[in-house]
Amino acid sequence: MFKKLIAIVFATIAFSAQANEGVAFVHGTGNATDALNDYWTSQNVNSIVSGLPNSSNYTVINCDFEQYMWDSRASGCLAEQLTSFINAKGITQMTLITHSNGANVVRWIMSNPTWDSRYPNIINKTKEVIALAPSSAGTPLADAVIEGNVFESALGWLLGFKNNAVRMQQVSWMAYYNQNWLFGTTGRPALPKNMVNVVGTDVESAIWDGDSYCGGYAQQVGLEFTQNWLDNCSDGFLNCSSQEAAGSLWFRDKSRTRGREPLSHQQSRRKCFNLDVFLRDRI
């Protein structure tokens, strides 16, 4: 009886010490002021965080990711908002859900813990990074925008203007950063916390297909156009090889999505084809 009582006491202590889990949503390129509604949508976020023990334990980051990843307005802003979230909610473990260039900013923090005094605690509290369509090896479209050819007008809605984040995502530039500053790619040290990728492999924009409207039909048409200058396997903005360059593969879209639908770069940050359910179950 005494042994059973001791076991119950220890089980109670262990339960009380369980992680207070949270989720942070980290947007991609852009200067966000309302990423919840403008970037992720509240419907998507609410669906994902319903998988948490406490569904109020989440934060949606709003930072100036038009800057280089090391800029205080980018990684510094991210560090400040994550630290505030950790402190305000008493978070002991958090999952970072990133999209596109957001994964690069997170990788900067993970790869350079001595850069900022806030980084070690963020790394320590991070359970996992789920990178949706990460631009880990850059994109030829960034090169095209910086060079000022036809893509500049065609991609204005997606990449913005010639800002430093777009400049940073040029293929050769990201190769340099991956070789010298960032962890997680081939031949480099592993990231201190697990990073798994969800990879978009195609774009569909048939006007008669209702699935083409998830995330916005105009964006699908634009991504179908830009896909002509990318590899056969791409989400309209990033080649699959870039999305898979850092961390490890969780899954490519069609292997799990409803109806084996592809996830375009726009759709991988929206509530499309049960992606929200997969994220909810994982966290």
Does residue 14 lie in a domain region? no
List of E strands, 133-243: 195-199
User: Which parts of the chain have pLDDT scores under 50?
Assistant: 1-2, 5-16
Does residue 113 lie in a domain region? yes
- Cβ neighbours, 10 Å, residue 157: 12
Does residue 1 lie in a domain region? no
Does residue 8 lie in a domain region? no
For residue 9, the model assigns a pLDDT of 38
Does residue 62 lie in a domain region? yes
Does residue 7 lie in a domain region? no
- What total of structural domains would you count in the chain? 1
Does residue 67 lie in a domain region? yes
- Cβ neighbours, 10 Å, residue 156: 12
Strands 93-99 and 21-26, bridge-based pairing: parallel
Taking the C-alpha atoms of residue 32 and residue 39, their distance in angstroms, rounded to an integer, is 8
What are 219-274's pLDDT values in tens digits?
Answer: 898 898 888 889 999 999 999 999 999 999 999 999 999 999 999 999 999 999 99
Going from the C-alpha of 210 to that of each of 58, 205, 206, 215, 236, the distances in angstroms are: 31, 9, 8, 11, 19
Q: Domain of 63? A: 21-282
Q: Give the CATH number of the domain where residue 141 resides.
A: 3.40.50.1820
For residue 226, the model assigns a pLDDT of 86
Taking the C-alpha atoms of residue 103 and residue 136, their distance in angstroms, rounded to an integer, is 7
Q: Can you give the pTM of this predicted structure?
A: 0.92
Does residue 9 lie in a domain region? no
H-type alpha helices, 131-190: 140-147, 151-154, 156-159, 164-168, 171-180
